[in-house]
Amino acid sequence: MAAGSPGLRITRILARRFDGRSETSLDPDLRVFVSDLVRPYGLPLREDLLGEGAGHSYEELAAGLLREAVADDTPVDLLILAFDTPDVRPGAPSSLALSRSVPGGPLAFAICDQGTAAAFTALRLAAEYHRTGACRRAVVVLAEQTALHYRPAEPVAMPERHAVVVLVCEEAPGAGLAVHQRSDVSEPERFVRARAEELGPEVAVLDSTAGDGPDAQPFTGVWARLAEHLPQWRAQGRPVLVAGLDRRLGVLSTLALS
């Protein structure tokens, strides 16, 4: 981006956790979809979860928070839904449904199958789309729900509660979002320390790469912490570094906010 050009900056971030379940999780089409999905791999269904209707629809989880985050007079150009745990409504694109919860009729799509890297990918794509000149306001929705309706081949981290984080990104003076993703880092903690040093001694770091223990919210947890602390860090004029490592895919992601 040329010097002096505006960038895409996070101007508002809201996070919320939920209990309960969605009626959508009792739709018989969910069983059909999951059966077709796992049959080639010989993985058993979670009949208990399917029978009790466990899980929640991302459309239902996120719609209310979206309306709270985006005012009626602020049209959105791009909406990206990112998630790791599959939605309980696989036959209907939740990203398109959620685009109707914000003004502007935005371009909308979803990112999945990237583990925790999906959140960073969504922000990277939003920043790149902004550079085309077609996007002045983007909304990134991060979501996770607690039910996996089959037994995976190996253990995977699951959230304790349903959760959604909404990041509103708008054109503003400054460098904007700086996202880097790499899959060839042998010492991720060292890489994150070096990146933090580049941002200066006042940098605030949210680092989920160490893997000291299971996160109660493996996909949205670090972003909920960003929602909690970013207003104070911005008021203090501190740069921010968010880092995450998806160990299954070996992808290290960082987001720098100035």
- What does the pLDDT look like over 136-172, one tens digit per residue? 999 999 999 999 999 999 999 999 999 999 999 999 9
pLDDT band at 35 (very low <50, low <70, confident <90, very high): very high
* CB contact at 8 A, 167 and 220: no
Q: Give start-end residues of each CATH 3.40.47.10 domain in the chain.
A: 7-172
pLDDT band at 72 (very low <50, low <70, confident <90, very high): very high
Mean pLDDT (whole number) for 1-10: 76
**Cβ atoms within 10 Å of 224's Cβ, excluding its own:** 20
Whole-number Å distance between alpha carbons of 194 and 191: 5
Instruction: Kindly list the strands in the beta sheet with 240-246, ordered across the sheet, starting from the edge strand earlier in the chain.
Output: 178-182, 251-257, 240-246, 204-207
Checking if the pLDDT of 1 tops 70, the result is no
Checking if the pLDDT of 4 tops 80, the result is no
116, 166, 117: which is closest to 137 by C-alpha? 166
Whole-number Å distance between alpha carbons of 145 and 21: 9
**SS3 at position 146:** coil
Sign of CA dihedral 207, 209, 211, 212: negative
| Residue 116 confidence (pLDDT) | 95
Looking up tokens 């223990």 gives 213
Whole-number Å distance between alpha carbons of 235 and 180: 25
Whole-number Å distance between alpha carbons of 222 and 116: 10
Amino acid identity at 78: L
Q: What CATH class has 7-172?
A: alpha beta
Q: What DSSP designation does 186 have?
A: S
Mean pLDDT (whole number) for 37-46: 97
- Least trusted range by pLDDT, from 194-203, 213-222, 224-233: 213-222
In degrees, rounded to 5, the angle at the alpha carbon of residue 111 between the alpha carbons of residues 129 and 57 is 125
pLDDT band at 90 (very low <50, low <70, confident <90, very high): confident
* CB contact at 8 A, 139 and 76: yes
Q: What are phi and psi of 210, to 5 degrees?
A: -65, -35
Q: How far apart are the first and last CA of the chain?
A: 15
Pairing state of beta strands 251-257 and 240-246? antiparallel
